[in-house]
């Protein structure tokens, strides 16, 4: 199963849902993501076969320790694209196109390590050769927003929408978790229309997960929990898992408040 | 005047003459350089806070979320100063991993935006520790493409020792200037491939009084720049 996860690095990740996926016992997942601790948690839990990404970073901690270890030990596969190529692959899938042309990737080792990538030549007078970035269709997309109604209309309140709308448009099944569920009227009154990132046609399920992006940032509701992220990055996996992940989401939220 | 202050000015010089384009950077010293350039000789530059806000004279002046950054990259309206874990003589850069890609000895960031940046718009590099581990004959994974792979333009490489450029017939790397107190031999010893060395290598220009005042009083009063060079 191919899962797309919204957010960016250690920013507005649907972490409550990531924890639920971790507990679900599903295996052999392919993750498509601008990678952060979502990758690290699921890779460390041993349930990921392939990561499709342009980077994996905790932002304030540049390198993701679990991803690094898995790569060095050869326990996961990686499909590594330029960040803009990943965007283009999602955009192609959202538009039901087999590919979209892009310059990014030309001349780089992205073409060497992804031998299935092809180029395409402009049929017009310019005759430009471009990368034919293939669509990245998703089975499931998970995104986390600040506000939503129960029907699947959702709003972000922070400075960046990231690519959460595209993840939904590229996926067969779409789940939106949020900090607060509101009536549609309250949701409409909560900000300008252009921050309503997703609508009902793009979402199949809404989950109310307060503090559900923890420990990534979800501004303006809360910033990144830097102290906790530091603990995550420096604690051995079995200890961390036993301390925070063996129970349910309520246990997690209780444990991180201590 | 400190080495870090010389480096801030050397980074700022990378954007001279660029006009109203986005000056992006990875690292504090290039960020200070971009802001210094904007505050002095390149007032039209757009500078981001590293998130989604554009800054002018330290105050917000616009919105630039990641999706707009990709549009700016594709439009060519940007000049980024990236870091590099490895860099070769044609400016091929690696930030992805060290060792064989299939099973790296050290996984780093992955390619990030380096492939797209280097084929779309000018790119420069900031290397806070000039060493043969960074300046290598061949990089392990070409993340940013160099001039021998049709890079758009690799403009300058600023390090803690020197400024390097590609003003040679085959667009391979050349020593442009050494920072005050650094010799040509120091740079050669810290570089893992043969550089083009002009007969006369000038010193990197030092910050003037106005630039020093801006760096010390306005842009980085806490002196965080001094910790980026170790």
Alpha-carbon distance of B210 to A151, in angstroms, equals 58
Chain B residue at shortest CA distance from A81: B111
Alpha-carbon distance of A142 to A164, in angstroms, equals 8
Contacts of B55 in chain A (CB under 8 A): none
Mean of per-residue pLDDT scores for chain B: 97
Alpha-carbon distance of B12 to B35, in angstroms, equals 8
Contacts of B74 in chain A (CB under 8 A): 84, 102-103
To 5 degrees, how large is the angle CA B15–CA B66–CA A98? Answer: 115
This model of the complex carries an ipTM of: 0.96
CATH of the domain at B217: 3.40.1080.10
Across the A:B interface, residue pairs with CB atoms under 8 Å apart total 122
Which pLDDT score is estimated for A25? 86
Chain B residue at shortest CA distance from A36: B109
Please answer yes or no on whether A109 and B141 come within 8 Å at the CB atom.
yes
Please answer yes or no on whether A103 and B150 come within 8 Å at the CB atom.
no
Structure token pair of residue B98: 């060290």
- A76 Rama class: left (phi>0) / alpha (psi -120 to 50) / beta: beta
Beta-sheet strand order (sheet of B59-63): B59-63, B53-56, B46-48, B22-25, B78-82, B122-127, B153-159, B162-165, B174-178
Question: Which residues 58-97 of chain B have a CB within 8 Å of chain A?
Answer: 63, 65-67, 70, 73-74, 96-97
CB half-sphere exposure, A150, CA atoms < 13 A: 1
Please answer yes or no on whether A108 and B114 come within 8 Å at the CB atom.
yes
Q: Give the residue carrying structure tokens 């002046």.
A: B61
Contacts of A68 in chain B (CB under 8 A): 106-107
Q: Give A2's strand partners.
A: A30
A62, A72, A104 ranked by CB distance to B115: nearest = A104
At B108-138, the pLDDT tens digits run 999 999 999 999 999 999 999 999 999 999 9
Q: Is B215 on the interface with A (CB under 8 A)?
A: no
Query: Which residues span the domain enclosing B62?
Result: 3-227
At B69-93, the pLDDT tens digits run 999 999 999 999 999 999 999 999 9
The 3-state DSSP class for residue A10 equals coil
Q: Is B55 on the interface with A (CB under 8 A)?
A: no
Which pLDDT score is estimated for A258? 74
Q: How many angstroms away from the CA of B206 is the closest CA of chain A?
A: 32
Along the 258 residues of chain A, how does pLDDT read in single tens digits?
999 999 999 999 999 999 999 999 899 999 999 999 999 999 999 999 999 999 999 999 999 999 999 999 999 999 999 999 999 999 999 999 999 999 999 999 999 999 999 999 999 999 999 999 999 999 999 999 999 999 999 999 999 999 999 999 999 999 999 999 999 999 999 999 999 999 999 999 999 999 999 999 999 999 999 999 999 999 999 999 999 999 999 999 999 997
Structure token pair of residue A137: 């269709």
Which pLDDT score is estimated for B57? 87
Which pLDDT score is estimated for A216? 98
B66, B96, B119 ranked by CB distance to A80: nearest = B96
Contact by Cβ (8 Å): B201, B175: yes
**pTM for this prediction:** 0.97
Rounded to 5, what percent of chain B is helix, strand, coil?
Answer: 30, 25, 50
Q: How many domains, in total, are found in chain B?
A: 1
The 3-state DSSP class for residue A113 equals helix
Contacts of A62 in chain B (CB under 8 A): 109
- pLDDT of residue B230 exceeding 80, the answer is no
Query: What are the φ and ψ backbone dihedral angles of A52, each rounded to 5 degrees?
Result: -115, 115
The A-side interface with B (CB below 8 A) comprises 8, 35, 53-57, 62-63, 67-68, 71-74, 78, 80-85, 87, 102-110, 112-113, 159-163
Q: Is B27 on the interface with A (CB under 8 A)?
A: no
Which pLDDT score is estimated for B127? 98
Contact by Cβ (8 Å): A148, A187: yes
Contact by Cβ (8 Å): B96, B143: yes
Q: Is B53 on the interface with A (CB under 8 A)?
A: yes
To 5 degrees, how large is the angle CA B100–CA B105–CA B111? Answer: 65
Q: Give the residue carrying structure tokens 């400024």.
A: B163
Q: How many angstroms away from the CA of B131 is the closest CA of chain A?
A: 21
Residue B66's pLDDT band (boundaries 50, 70, 90)? Answer: very high
Residue B50's pLDDT band (boundaries 50, 70, 90)? Answer: confident
B108, B111, B144 ranked by CB distance to A63: nearest = B108
């Amino acid at each position: 199963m191919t899962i797309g996860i919204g957010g960016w690095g250690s920013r507005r990740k649907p972490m409550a849902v990531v924890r639920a996926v971790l507990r679900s016992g599903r295996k052999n997942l392919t993750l498509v993501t601008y990678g952060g601790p979502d990758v690290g948690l699921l890779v460390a839990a041993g349930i990921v076969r392939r990561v499709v990404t342009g980077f994996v970073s905790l932002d304030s901690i540049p390198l993701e320790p679990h991803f690094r270890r898995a790569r060095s030990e050869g326990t996961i596969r990686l499909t590594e694209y330029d960040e803009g190529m990943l965007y283009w692959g999602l955009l192609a899938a959202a538009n039901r196109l087999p590919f979209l042309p892009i310059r990014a990737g030309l001349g780089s080792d992205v073409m060497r390590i992804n031998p299935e990538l092809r180029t395409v030549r402009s049929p017009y007078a310019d005759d430009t050769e471009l990368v034919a970035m293939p669509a990245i269709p998703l089975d499931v997309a998970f995104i986390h927003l600040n506000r939503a109604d129960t029907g699947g209309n959702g709003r972000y309140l922070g400075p960046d929408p990231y690519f959460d709308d595209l993840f939904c448009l590229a996926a067969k099944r779409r789940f939106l978790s949020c900090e607060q569920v509101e009536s549609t009227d309250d949701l409409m009154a909560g900000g300008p229309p252009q921050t309503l990132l997703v609508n009902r046609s793009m979402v199949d399920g809404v989950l109310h997960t307060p503090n559900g992006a923890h420990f990534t940032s979800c501004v303006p509701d809360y910033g990144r929990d830097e102290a906790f992220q530091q603990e995550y990055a420096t604690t051995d996996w079995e200890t961390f898992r036993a301390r925070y992940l063996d129970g349910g989401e309520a246990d997690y939220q209780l444990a991180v408040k201590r | 005047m400190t080495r870090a202050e010389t480096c801030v000015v050397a980074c700022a010089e990378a954007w001279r003459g660029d006009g109203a384009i986005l000056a992006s950077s990875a690292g504090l010293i290039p960020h200070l350089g971009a802001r210094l350039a904007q505050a002095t000789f390149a007032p039209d530059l757009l500078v981001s806070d590293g998130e989604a806000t554009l800054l002018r004279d330290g105050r917000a002046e616009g919105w630039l979320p990641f999706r707009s950054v990709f549009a700016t990259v594709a439009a060519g309206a940007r000049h980024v100063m990236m870091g590099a874990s490895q860099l070769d003589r044609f400016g091929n850069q690696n930030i992805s991993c060290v060792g064989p890609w299939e099973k790296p000895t050290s996984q780093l960031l992955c390619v990030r935006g380096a492939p797209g940046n280097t084929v779309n718009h000018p790119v420069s590099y900031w290397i806070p520790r000039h060493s043969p581990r960074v300046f290598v004959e061949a990089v392990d994974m070409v993340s940013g493409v160099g001039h021998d792979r049709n890079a758009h333009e690799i403009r300058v490489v600023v390090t803690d020792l020197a400024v390097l450029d590609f003003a040679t017939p085959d667009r391979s790397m050349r020593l442009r200037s050494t920072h005050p107190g650094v010799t040509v031999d120091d740079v050669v010893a810290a570089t893992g491939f043969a550089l083009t060395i002009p007969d006369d290598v000038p010193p990197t220009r030092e910050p003037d009084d106005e630039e020093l005042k801006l760096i010390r009083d306005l842009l980085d009063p806490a002196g965080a720049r001094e910790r980026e060079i170790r």
